[in-house]
Structure 1
């Protein structure tokens, strides 16, 4: 029996009122030219909130306390050659000014109205952003 290999990722949902923070991917080899959220792979031997805090600092230059993060959703996603468990975390508060800390991988950071999301957004990211985060949700994609 073949052992499954799962990759883990965290996706941070920064909201300001009815606006969400998105980043435009560039030079990554995955969905370049499309809008996503601050996100990244869990490095291993790393708790979900710790990974989210690290990614927020690396990509957006902000500091988040663990108690200011809520896991609001989980996606089990299958690509052509890999399986992912994606954790979506709503950010309730942060310190510092949001800035593009990885211009070699992020063309732009911008706030978008939830009523006017860009058309060239990664599909599963759009699905997560549009969810009601009042209760935990789960999606299974690519199966």
Structure 2
């Protein structure tokens, strides 16, 4: 999810996971069984950065497909990334999952750190077009 404030976006620094530790990603996660994309985004925002987002405040940003080359080690897995942007939420963002993230940080899209998850860079490039 692209959580935007004053032209900057909220990122999480991944750690203690099975994939891309030490890289910045967006607050996100997998859709659970019987859950829609918007519901998953709302849930993940609360779980990862402690903010409450209303589904009607989500704006579709971009969708992308990733194949097995970027499958976190499972050659049969494929990914469909659905990215929403949001500019309104309740609560002050914080690292709500310190067992999975070392920190949170705000970055403008033209000043992303070198250690940004590669497919996130691709999604953000598509979003800016």
Q: Same fold (TM over 0.5)?
A: yes
Inter-partner Cα distance in structure 2 for 1:132 and 1:54: 22
Checking the alignment, whether the CA contact within 8 Å between 1:38 and 1:60 is kept in structure 2 is yes
The structural deviation recorded for 1:133 is: 5.4
The structural deviation recorded for 1:124 is: 1.1
Checking the alignment, whether the CA contact within 8 Å between 1:72 and 1:133 is kept in structure 2 is no
In the alignment, which of 26, 35, 47 is matched to residue 37 of structure 1? Answer: 26
Normalising by structure 2, report the TM-score: 0.89
Decide whether aligned partners of structure 1 residues 114 and 89 sit closer, same or farther in structure 2, where only a CA change above 3 A counts: same
Greater percentage in strand: 1
RMSD: 1.4
Counterpart position of 2:117: 122
Size of the aligned set, in residue pairs, is 123
Question: Structure 1 stretches of 5 or more lacking a match?
Answer: 1-11, 135-143
Counterpart position of 1:91: 86
Checking the alignment, whether the CA contact within 8 Å between 2:51 and 2:93 is kept in structure 1 is yes
Checking the alignment, whether the CA contact within 8 Å between 2:12 and 2:104 is kept in structure 1 is yes
Inter-partner Cα distance in structure 2 for 1:102 and 1:132: 26
SS in 1 for 2:102: strand
The runs of at least 4 consecutive aligned structure 1 residues that moved more than 6 Å come to none
* 2:65 is equivalent to residue 70 of structure 1: no
* 2:126 is equivalent to residue 131 of structure 1: yes
The structural deviation recorded for 1:37 is: 0.4
The structural deviation recorded for 1:92 is: 2.5
Checking the alignment, whether the CA contact within 8 Å between 1:39 and 1:52 is kept in structure 2 is yes
Question: Structure 2 stretches of 5 or more lacking a match?
Answer: 70-74
SS in 2 for 1:30: coil
Greater percentage in helix: 2
